[in-house]
Structure 1
Amino acid sequence: MAQPHRRTVRDLRRSNRATVLGRLYFEGPLSRQELGPLTGLSSGSISNVVGELVTDGIVEDAGSVESDGGRPRTLLRVAPGSGHLVGVDVGETRIRVELFDLTLTELARADLPLPPDGHDVERVVRLIGEGLRQVLLLRENPERPLLGIGVGVPGIVDSGSVVHGQTIGWDAVPLGSLLQSSGHLPSGIPLFIDNGAKTLGRAEMWFGAGRGARNAVVTLIGSGVGACVIADGVPYQGATSSAGEWGHTVLQVVGGRSCRCGATGCLEAYVGAEALLQRWRENGGRWSAADEEGALAELLAAPDAAGLLDETARYLGAGIADLVNLFNPERIVLGGWAGLLLGPRLLPAVREAAASYALRHPFAGTSLVLGRLGPDAVTVGAATLPLARFLEAGGVIRTEPADARRTGSPVA
């Protein structure tokens, strides 16, 4: 018979540190007096935990506030410079690597374009390594610990680091192992890999348009289309971590457009940036920009694309209605670089179309909003993967060979 797990003093101490650190991270600056009712810990426990975190350099003073009839209260905050994080976005047309401080303020960035022939695995591994080299060279305080590296990829991530990227030609690519064995990663630094839409979802739920919601869907519209489903505050993964492949739900069964996944009629084949530009070209549209972002901006400004955009709004509204009917979210966030370009122009028409396709009662309880974190949300979200582990560990820094992806962790 299995023995029940007994919490040790060490477990309790780490749990208390995690509780205090989490409150300070998401709700700080806070005083010691405010931390008591927020955490449920005694004043003695608060004093001990705060003392440890200050000694470790993770928490610092943030000024003081007057109190009613007593001495001023010292405010505490997480020290931004106490650690560094790296976020990597393996996008459709480029790889972006960003270095952040502990509060996710960007310190350095590297953008490395991908050639038109796409995502050769060895090239992607090499470019990630080159991006890491560039941003780490720019660290002003290299003595600060690097807490981890998070990578967002366009595909399903299984077993922690194996990527199934059907639209980019990846079939069970052991990306984590390849990166670890490449020699490009600093020794002993934890590595986390997840789907790019899910990293974007975590970022918007922690810091952006999803903050405060418990049941939400954060969508990513870029060259392709994806989503992160949040159920009762936790990202829903599904049986094999593929939940959220919204772009490959079917809009048109007979005579549907071909999708990059090999099927026909997928939502992505109608509202993804690559497909939208292809449809415009078929209608005689032309653009001068060298990249998809610039080309889509030209499409939005072109008088001859008005009908195409109206049609796209109806398709996107139908896709939004599917999310409403399936998941009953309180909030749907429209994100991704293409979603943020299309949103200001299309959002009213998308809402109208979604209302006509969705069931009235759940739609009435759903708000549809634009993402707030801009086109860097995938990279920010990738950096939250090691950040989440750091917060859960109560700020205990461990360097270890890691090839993992945390799943099921609360998003706020």
Structure 2
Amino acid sequence: MAEQSRRTVRDLRRGNRSALLRHLYFEGPLSRQELGRDTGLSAGSISNVVGELIADGMVEEAGAVESDGGRPRILLQVSAGYGYVIGVDVGETRVRVELFDLALTERAAADLPLSGSGHDVDHVVRLALKGIASVVREAGVADSEVLGVGVGVPGIVDQGDTGPGDGDGVVVHGQTVEWDAVPLGRLLRAGTALPLYIDNGAKTLGQAEMWFGGGRGASNVVIVLIGSGVGACVVVDGNPYRGASSSAGEWGHTTLRVGGRVCRCGARGCLEAYVGAAALLGRWPSAPEGVSEESAFAALLAAADHDPGAAALLAEAAEYLGAGIADLINLFNPQRIVIGGWAGLLLGPRLLPEVREFAAAYALRHPCAQTSIELGRLGADAVTVGAATLPLARFLDAGGERAQRQPAPEGNRHPRSAPAMPRNRIARAVR
């Protein structure tokens, strides 16, 4: 009974710390009085928990504001320099790694092209580990200061029997990149002792847009990712919908045309085969060779002003994308649909009006009238930002408790170097 009581007190304390940290992170700077008003915690609890968080270095003072007739109120905020998080985006043509402070200001970055090896698993793992080591070294931080590494990958991510920051049990099923039950967590763990968090890239993009971008302030949203392939993150009542085995959101592999074009997954008529960047470039005879996919896709958009074939290709893509979005509206009745991904953000300025018109034509009128269709706000590298939110989310949920590190692999210690100059990666969310 006594042990049960101690667990209950510990859980209550952790819950209070989590509530205050999360609220300060997303809504701060705030005074103690505002924290009490917003969280419903007593003045005594606020005083105790804030005192602990300040003593631990997680929270710091951020100036003062005048109060009505009393002493100025001290504002508090989460300390950006308390720790660091790393985001890894395993993309179609590269592995991008970024290290951020807790304000999600970029401190270091590495771009590692996949080159001729493509998505060979061992090659991808080597690049990811190389990038992680590189950004830690460039930023001049110690491994002990890194709260964790988030990794966004293509395909279905089975979390398995994985503890917080463990990652060892994560298995990835990536049909379009020929990953069949790849034990990615175990492979990465062999090269790093840092806490690991792995999820589907569209879902990491979705979390970033919900926290800081186009989904902020709404509770029922679909964030779609359009790059070489197509995916989605479905958010219901504020929580990502994963389905029975975490495969929910494979929107790019819904069938829009029975017996249609062959998709990379092997099926026919998938949405991805009509609006994915790889599929569009594969059908454009004038696609430039020897350049990046992003550069080739930008050339397709530019050519549409004078090339009838390119213009017809994009016009068809607008209708298929509008029809696919109509399916999302009819199925999930979201408040917003946010279009992200590097190709989606390139397509958006040109095609968004037509996409909205086609969505309205194919969707039921009543739910469509309640849904806005918008572009993402976090840029082409939002998957990397989203991946970094995986360890950050665990940190906030745990009330600042750090995930347990695994034994350090041989030769995995990174020397410190001079700190890099920070660069703002995204604008902090505003109240």
The one-letter code matched in structure 2 to 1:156 is I
- Displacement of 1:398: 3.3
Show the counterpart of 1:405.
none
Deviations 1:251-288 (A, max 9, x none): 1103x11100000110000100000111112xxx2326
Separation in 2, partners of 1:288, 1:369: 32
CA contact (8 A) 1:84 1:144 kept: no
Show the counterpart of 1:307.
312
CA contact (8 A) 1:82 1:144 kept: no
Deviates more, 1:6-15 or 1:121-130: 6-15
- 1:264 pairs with 2:259: no
Deviations 1:309-356 (A, max 9, x none): 111100100000010011111100000000000001000000000100
In structure 2, which of residues 341, 348, 354 is the aligned counterpart of residue 349 of structure 1?
A: 354
Separation in 2, partners of 1:66, 1:144: 39
Secondary structure in 2 matching 1:362: helix
Show the counterpart of 1:71.
71
Separation in 2, partners of 1:260, 1:361: 35
Show the counterpart of 1:408.
none
Show the counterpart of 2:298.
297
5+ residue gaps in structure 1? 403-412
CA contact (8 A) 1:228 1:244 kept: yes
Separation in 1, partners of 2:289, 2:130: 30
Show the counterpart of 2:97.
97
Secondary structure in 1 matching 2:123: helix
Q: Note the 1:365-376 alignment, pairs <5 A.
A: 365-376=370-381
5+ residue gaps in structure 2? 161-169, 408-431
The one-letter code matched in structure 2 to 1:295 is A
Q: Percent identity?
A: 71
- Displacement of 1:289: 6.3
- 1:240 pairs with 2:245: yes
Instruction: Describe the shift of the 1:307–1:371 C-alpha distance in structure 2 as closer, same or farther (beyond 3 A).
Output: same
- 1:276 pairs with 2:285: no
- Displacement of 1:216: 0.6
- Displacement of 1:142: 2.8
- Displacement of 1:7: 5.4
In structure 2, which of residues 160, 166, 179 is the aligned counterpart of residue 170 of structure 1?
A: 179
Secondary structure in 1 matching 2:266: coil
Show the counterpart of 1:249.
254
Separation in 2, partners of 1:25, 1:151: 22
- Displacement of 1:117: 4.4
Separation in 2, partners of 1:81, 1:144: 13
After TM superposition, the runs of 4+ consecutive aligned structure 1 residues lying more than 3 A away are 4-7
Q: How many residues in Structure 1 have an aligned counterpart in Structure 2? A: 392
- 1:327 pairs with 2:332: yes
Separation in 1, partners of 2:143, 2:320: 51
Q: Note the 1:3-402 alignment, pairs <5 A.
A: 8-142=8-142, 145-160=145-160, 161-181=170-190, 183=191, 185=192, 187=193, 189-254=194-259, 256-281=260-285, 285-287=286-288, 290-302=291-303, 303-304=306-307, 305-401=310-406
Separation in 2, partners of 1:130, 1:352: 45
The one-letter code matched in structure 2 to 1:137 is R
Instruction: Describe the shift of the 1:112–1:38 C-alpha distance in structure 2 as closer, same or farther (beyond 3 A).
Output: same
- Displacement of 1:159: 2.9
CA contact (8 A) 2:152 2:200 kept: yes
RMSD (Å) for aligned C-alpha atoms = 1.6
Secondary structure in 1 matching 2:25: helix
- Displacement of 1:9: 1.3
Separation in 1, partners of 2:279, 2:340: 17
Instruction: Describe the shift of the 1:235–1:6 C-alpha distance in structure 2 as closer, same or farther (beyond 3 A).
Output: farther
The one-letter code matched in structure 2 to 1:115 is S
Instruction: Describe the shift of the 1:388–1:348 C-alpha distance in structure 2 as closer, same or farther (beyond 3 A).
Output: same
Secondary structure in 2 matching 1:96: strand
The one-letter code matched in structure 2 to 1:274 is A
- Displacement of 1:32: 0.4
Secondary structure in 1 matching 2:313: helix
Separation in 1, partners of 2:290, 2:182: 33
TM-score normalised by the chain length of structure 2: 0.88
Separation in 1, partners of 2:72, 2:143: 34
Secondary structure in 2 matching 1:280: coil
Deviates more, 1:303-312 or 1:356-365: 303-312
